[in-house]
Amino acid sequence: MPTLILRLDVTGRPLDWISRRAAALMYVRGQVAWEAGEQTFRMFGGTARITGLRSYLDINSIIAGRGTALLGSWAESTPALTNNGLFSRDNYLCMYCGGRFPATMLTRDHVLPRSRGGGDDWENVVTACKPCNARKDNLTIKEAETFGIRLLAVPYRPNLAEGLILQNRNILADQMEFLSMRGSGKRKRLD
Ligand SMILES: [Zn+2]
């Protein structure tokens, strides 16, 4: 996965990941209001016929565009629920046995089973290894506890900043730091 550029709106709210080429176009069109990253990527253009010099553009790892897209809706916007995003949110840990597994061994478990009316949304799904998912079957948490199966952490809905962290597997340190300050780390532990 190539390095992506984190795009913000003019007030500093993270919007999305864009390619370096898309970022270059923003520079060329004068749409970059300010930069916030610590790294730059040099992109080369054509060679000027008169000077023989090659043109280039330095693209910052975090750029703010002009304008405020998504005004008002940003705080409520939720990243799409995908298995990869879910496994990342739960750090590839089974939320029942606490074991760490590769993605191929993990499943999306519905805390309140779908057959019992549970929704397919961030607040009702956790990462579970295949054996734990099979053991929990279509039990509610209360019922599962009688079989010694306990939920280790409450599932939560990531905000957009957290969602951006979950989306990009090739995130740069400065981008991670920027988004982490925006995320709120709402995870509650159950003890
Ligand atoms: Zn497990």
Residue 10 has a pLDDT of 86
Render pLDDT for 73-101 as a digit per residue (tens, 0 to 9): 555 567 889 998 999 999 999 999 999 99
Render pLDDT for 23-51 as a digit per residue (tens, 0 to 9): 999 999 899 999 999 999 998 887 877 88
Q: Among candidates 21, 32, 159, which has minimal Cα distance to 89?
A: 159
Question: What single string gives the DSSP state of each residue in 120-167?
Answer: SSGGGEEEEEHHHHHHHTT--HHHHHTTT----B------HHHHHHHH
Domains of the chain, start order: 5-76 (no CATH), 83-145 (1.10.30.50)
- Number of H helices and number of E strands within the chain? 6, 8
Task: Calculate how far, in angstroms, residue 91's C-alpha sits from the geometric centre of ligand 1.
Answer: 13
Q: Among candidates 43, 108, 53, which has minimal Cα distance to 81?
A: 108
Q: How far apart are CA 62 and CA 162, in angstroms?
A: 16
pTM recorded for the entire structure: 0.69
Task: Calculate how far, in angstroms, residue 19's C-alpha sits from the geometric centre of ligand 1.
Answer: 37
DSSP H or E stretch at residue 36:
none
Task: Calculate how far, in angstroms, residue 118's C-alpha sits from the geometric centre of ligand 1.
Answer: 20
